Amino acid sequence: MKLLLTSAGISNERIHQALVDLLGKPVSEASALFVPTAIYAIPNGGNIVQRVINGTLGDPFCQLGWKTWGLLELTALPGLKHDLWVPLLEETDALLVGGGDCQFLTYWMQQSGLADMLPALLQKTVYVGLSAGSMIMTSYGTTYGHHDLPADTPRSLGFLDFALHPHLDYPAFPDNSLANLSALAQRLPMPSYAIDDQTAIQVVDGVVEVVSKGHWKLFTPGEGIS
């Protein structure tokens, strides 16, 4: 599997180079599909989707200079025949999965059938996550609760055996201070990466590498701030 798990998008040249290396070609020669589903489950989600798509919110993601790109809305897929979307997905170089609500995204990943496809798909396609879109590939996710999903709906897909906590020390998210994320990490049974918006986690066939021009911290279970 080839994954680039970002906090806020392709925020600096190191993360951009990691993406190019995973693609095996320049972004300008690559195709992408953007999954906006998780964003709809947070307040003002429809407006946020539009701003992420046109590049006026956050770091470059959809508007990164892709050769071609399109949308893949997971909530629509269960009602469509596979031949309308599976071939397109299989031909895509990068799957861009936006942030929002982890639990809502996990649910629709599973309901659409995309979750079952990912292990084979990501042998060729690069998974590029943003915030919740990154978190759901790990063993820990969160929810805002602005949905009517069953309470026991998983909050992540659990493909990776660590937790990821994005937006470290970001002013708009005061709960994401290093002290708070340290306290959270101590309650989890798996290692945790706390990363700021200038950091990403690259995973290739199980090998984890931190790509950063910012700040990050790896916590082992039961470890506080050192």
Q: What is the 3-state secondary structure (H, E, C) of 160-201?
A: CCCEEECCCCCCCCHHHCHHHHHHHHHCCCCCEEEECCCEEE
- pLDDT tens digit sequence for 173-195: 889 999 999 999 999 999 999 99
Which residue has 């893949």 as its token pair? Answer: 72
Per-residue pLDDT for 226 more than 80? no
Write down the pTM of the prediction.
Answer: 0.96
pLDDT of residue 58: 83
C-alpha–C-alpha distance, residues 29 and 176, integer Å:
36
Asked if residues 111 and 56 have their Cβ atoms less than 8 Å apart, the reply is: no
pLDDT of the residue at 224: 58
**Structure confidence at residue 221 as a pLDDT band (50, 70, 90):** confident
pLDDT, tens only, 68-79:
999 999 999 999
Amino acid 225: pLDDT: 55
Q: Which amino acid is at 53?
A: I
- Spell out where the chain has E strands: 2-6, 31-35, 68-71, 94-97, 126-130, 163-165, 192-195, 199-204, 207-212, 216-219
Residue 34, pLDDT > 90, answer yes
Per-residue pLDDT band for 57 (boundaries 50, 70, 90) equals: confident
136 vs 25, 35, 128, CA distance in Å?
26, 13, 12
Q: What angle do CA 57, 59, 65 make, to 5 degrees?
A: 105
pLDDT at 56: 86
- In the chain, the percentage of residues whose pLDDT exceeds 90 is 92
Question: At which residue do the structure tokens 């700021």 appear?
Answer: 196
What are the tens digits of pLDDT across the range 139-174? 999 999 999 999 899 999 999 999 999 999 999 888
4-219 CATH choice from 3.30.590.20, 3.50.90.10, 3.40.50.800, 3.40.50.880: 3.40.50.880
Q: What pLDDT does residue 55 have?
A: 87
Residue with tokens 């982890």: 102
CA neighbor of 113 nearest in space, from 160, 138, 88, 78:
78
Rg (CA), the chain: 16
Q: What is the pLDDT of the chain when averaged over all its residues?
A: 95
